[in-house]
Chains A and B, each alone.
Chain A
């Protein structure tokens, strides 16, 4: 099938949707949401988007895209160690690719259970890296709290991203 110029153009834009939605998730995670109890530690929205796209469309979210995303998140969040989020996203991607066949075309509960494992791994990794980099064992409580709220909020994020996927990525 030959595509017209315009179609090819919209395809290029559509192919950027995973990365753009990850960027939106990233901005959302630093904007003060004023949700009581969530103000200090917000759910890891970017991690949800990274997981979703790596499970359903890994071809549209490249490792270099994830790297840029991670560095942007660390710069914007003012975290002391640049690269922690980039490393986490890359490790998450590798781990998801190992097991994604078990999640695609299966009930949502399985995708969610997969995210539980991934979120625990990713946030645990962040705790380990920052503890190692600051040379002190950080209190794991905020990390555990973040993992719990992130897993709890995942169904909403998954629903929104799935709508985006259905609406815009049908042809890509």
Chain B
């Protein structure tokens, strides 16, 4: 009997020591993980992709009701502003009708000029529709997880869009999910062209709502309200996609307000230009 209680005490003691050491041990492992994340190892990316793929059905199941509740709320909100909305749409319609006339004229002119120069159009763009099923939520990363992956033809580096404009680029691709790094993320760098004069720059996120324009040539005459579109200097990224407008200029700090509402993403399009030859199977072209 005494022997047994001795053994019990000893087991208990070792358990206490293990418990005492557990926290420091796990803290060291956490610090190592932070270091590994910094080294940007492929293992980390694989683990992220695997967890995302695994959780995708659960997240998708939760995302749909959340989206329908949100659209219900928006519907009710809309009822209260019907009059104002109508007024605004009338004005918009008026303005857009004028634009339509301009666009028709330009399309005709464009067709004539193309015929003159025997211009061969680029490959049609490929678009994949996807629903946002998760977002980073934290204060230090800006990305969204969508429910389309490699099996749908999504590849790294493709552009994520909404109807309004670019939201970011595809950073990680799983079998059934893909992660889009938003324009506003700290690690986002996208080549862009600014204004009518077409100055090249890099759009860099800093976790705020309005990303920065970097590497603008000295003496460039960028103004508030200038349009920003993708540059397409890199082969994968389609050029001339709308990104946003210059929102503020403060000395060397130029900020861009994205056209897409990055805070309210439900459905996105993933656009790919020129890579259709390498895609696994034919996809429906956008035009």
Contact = CB atoms under 8 A, between A and B. Distances in A.
B248 interface: no
Contacts of B186: 80, 134, 138
Interface residues of B, number: 57
Contacts of A60: none
A70 interface: yes
Contacts of B66: 31-34
Given A63-B26, A82-B33, A83-B34, A34 B208 contact: no
A105 interface: no
A66 B44 CA distance: 19
B140 A82 contact: no
A126 B63 contact: no
B267 to A, nearest CB: 11
Interface residues of A, number: 52
Interface in A17-49: 27, 29-35, 39-42, 44
A109 to B, nearest CB: 26
Contacts, number: 163
A82 B26 contact: no
Contacts of A72: 51
B265 A32 contact: yes
Interface of chain A: mostly helix, strand, loop or mixed: helix
B141 A83 contact: no
Nearest to A88: B30
Given A86-B26, A146-B138, A133 B263 contact: no
Interface stretch (B129-137, B192-200, B221-229): B129-137
A40 B29 CA distance: 29
Interface string B177-189: 0010000001100
B55 interface: yes
Contacts of A143: 139-140
A78 B136 contact: yes
B70 A129 contact: no
B118 interface: no
B23 A94 contact: yes
Interface string B155-199: 000000000000000011000000100000011000000000000
Given A34-B69, A83-B29, A139-B208, A133 B38 contact: yes
Q: Which 4 A-B pairs have the closest CB atoms?
A: A83-B33, A34-B70, A81-B37, A87-B30
